[in-house]
């Protein structure tokens, strides 16, 4: 496979049974397809868990070989203004379906990026043309969707995939591509992908471009993340009270992997729960991580803020 990112499409689920981790949602979607009738749908949840794949499978199951004639896919993050809703979306929705299809389908990805004005226009379009067109909306944050749209849709909430589901996907890809992946590399892939299958697939493809024998070192090097053990060693030293040694370890790790301050803070927040300190201190440190991240986002110096965070680990026992 020479074309980068082609694995995402190659391993995209081809039917409902290929979508892992969402059995109850898939059963309901299958029922809609079987009846050849469905309401407007809102698929909400984190990235890379199967929302777009589910939408494409619905369309292909409903329309068969001619699915492209009655299907429009738009990404709201590219075209998020009211003109797109009044123009392209409305023009497609108002015309009758081609052939014996019961209606057309418009798939609007990342619709939480739409402005409030565009969402109001979309609400009206969904209402006027429901006989000739159904909408499938996809978003990461359903709280950004206005209530009138939510009330017009059947809402399906996807969640991040569990470990066993990700292991099945890794096993399937490794067998097809003849990749050897050791146990620690699988743990690293699950850690860095954070339940996002698209991210997992891209990481695997990037790793295979380097070697067919995948190890933990290769995974962390490709994604530009520090090994949890290396960061935890720095935190353990800080908790013991040696600020200078902890700072040197942390800076060495950052330079080794080319990490940004935000990357480090997010990894540190996950490692706090493994430290040998009481739960009240862990809660205080998590709160401190949130404060430090906010300061970095607002433009504060990364190294100064990381030193301040480490200082919090040093004084926590005192």
Please determine, for residue 71, whether its predicted confidence score (pLDDT) is greater than 70. Answer: yes
| Confidence grade of residue 291 (pLDDT, cut at 50, 70, 90) | very high
Q: Would you list the DSSP string of 247-279? A: HHHHHHHHHHHT--HHHHHHHHHHHGGGSSS-H
Which residues lie across from 133 on neighbouring strands?
A: 104
**Mean pLDDT within 122-143:** 88
Average predicted confidence (pLDDT) for the chain: 86
The region of weakest confidence among 89-103, 128-142, 144-158, 177-191 is 89-103
Both tokens of 318, joined, read 């005192």
CATH (residue range 228-315):
1.20.272.10
pLDDT for the residue 81: 64
Please determine, for residue 76, whether its predicted confidence score (pLDDT) is greater than 80. Answer: no
CB 235 within 8 A of CB 268: yes
Distance CA 148, CA 145 (A): 9
Q: Would you list the DSSP string of 176-228? A: HHT-EE-HHHHHHHHHHHTT-HHHHHHHHHHHHTT-SEE-HHHHHHHHT---H
Which sign, positive or negative, has the C-alpha torsion 268, 235, 259, 228? negative
Distance CA 296, CA 302 (A): 6
Name the residue with higher pLDDT: 90 or 303: 303
CB 52 within 8 A of CB 8: no
Please determine, for residue 318, whether its predicted confidence score (pLDDT) is greater than 80. Answer: no
Listed by start position, the domains of the chain span 22-157, 163-223, 228-315
| Confidence grade of residue 296 (pLDDT, cut at 50, 70, 90) | very high
CB 43 within 8 A of CB 55: yes
- Express each pLDDT in 17-43 by its tens digit: 888 888 899 999 999 988 888 899 999
What burial letters (b/e) apply to 132-170, b meaning 16+ CB within 10 Å?
A: ebbbbbbbbebeebeeebeebbeebebebbeeebbeebb
pLDDT for the residue 1: 42
Both tokens of 240, joined, read 């013991």
Distance CA 223, CA 245 (A): 26
Please determine, for residue 57, whether its predicted confidence score (pLDDT) is greater than 50. Answer: yes
The fold of the 22-157 domain, in CATH, is Rossmann fold (3.40.50)
**Mean pLDDT within 159-166:** 88
CATH (residue range 163-223):
1.10.8.60
For the beta carbon of residue 73, count every other beta carbon within 10 angstroms: 15
Q: Would you list the DSSP string of 279-305? A: HHHHHHHHHHHHHHHHHHHTT--HHHH
Please determine, for residue 211, whether its predicted confidence score (pLDDT) is greater than 80. Answer: yes
| Confidence grade of residue 310 (pLDDT, cut at 50, 70, 90) | very high
- Express each pLDDT in 218-261 by its tens digit: 888 888 777 788 888 999 999 988 999 999 999 888 888 788 88
- Read off the pTM: 0.79
pLDDT for the residue 317: 66
pLDDT for the residue 77: 63
Distance CA 203, CA 205 (A): 5
pLDDT for the residue 79: 61
CB 119 within 8 A of CB 146: yes
């Amino acid at each position: 496979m020479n074309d980068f990112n082609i694995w995402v499409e190659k391993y995209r689920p081809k039917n409902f049974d290929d979508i892992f981790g969402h059995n109850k949602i898939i059963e309901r979607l299958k029922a809609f397809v079987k009846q050849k009738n469905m309401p407007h749908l809102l698929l909400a949840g984190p990235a890379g868990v199967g929302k777009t794949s589910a939408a494409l499978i619905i369309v292909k199951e409903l329309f068969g070989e001619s699915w492209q004639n009655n299907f429009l896919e738009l990404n709201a993050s590219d075209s998020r203004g009211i003109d797109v809703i009044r123009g392209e979306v409305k023009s497609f929705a108002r015309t009758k379906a081609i052939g014996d299809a019961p209606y057309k389908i418009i798939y609007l990805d990342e619709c939480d990026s739409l402005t409030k004005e565009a969402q109001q226009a979309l609400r009206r379009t969904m209402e006027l043309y429901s006989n000739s067109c159904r909408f499938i909306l996809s978003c990461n944050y359903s709280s950004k969707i206005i209530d009138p749209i939510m009330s017009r849709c059947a809402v399906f909430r996807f969640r991040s995939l569990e470990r066993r589901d990700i292991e099945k996907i890794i096993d399937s890809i490794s067998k097809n591509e003849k990749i050897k992946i050791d146990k620690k590399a699988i743990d690293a892939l699950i850690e860095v992908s954070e339940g996002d299958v698209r991210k997992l697939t891209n990481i695997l493809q990037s790793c295979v471009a380097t070697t067919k024998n995948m190890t933990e070192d290769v995974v962390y090097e490709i994604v530009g993340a520090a090994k949890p053990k290396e960061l935890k060693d720095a935190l353990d030293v800080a908790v013991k009270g040696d600020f200078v040694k902890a700072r040197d370890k942390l800076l060495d790790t950052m330079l080794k992997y080319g990490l940004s301050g935000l990357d480090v803070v997010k990894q540190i927040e996950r490692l706090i729960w493994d430290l040998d300190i009481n739960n009240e201190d862990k809660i205080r440190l998590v709160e401190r991580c949130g404060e430090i991240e906010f300061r970095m986002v607002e433009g504060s110096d990364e190294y100064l803020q990381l030193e301040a965070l480490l200082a919090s680990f040093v004084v926590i026992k005192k």
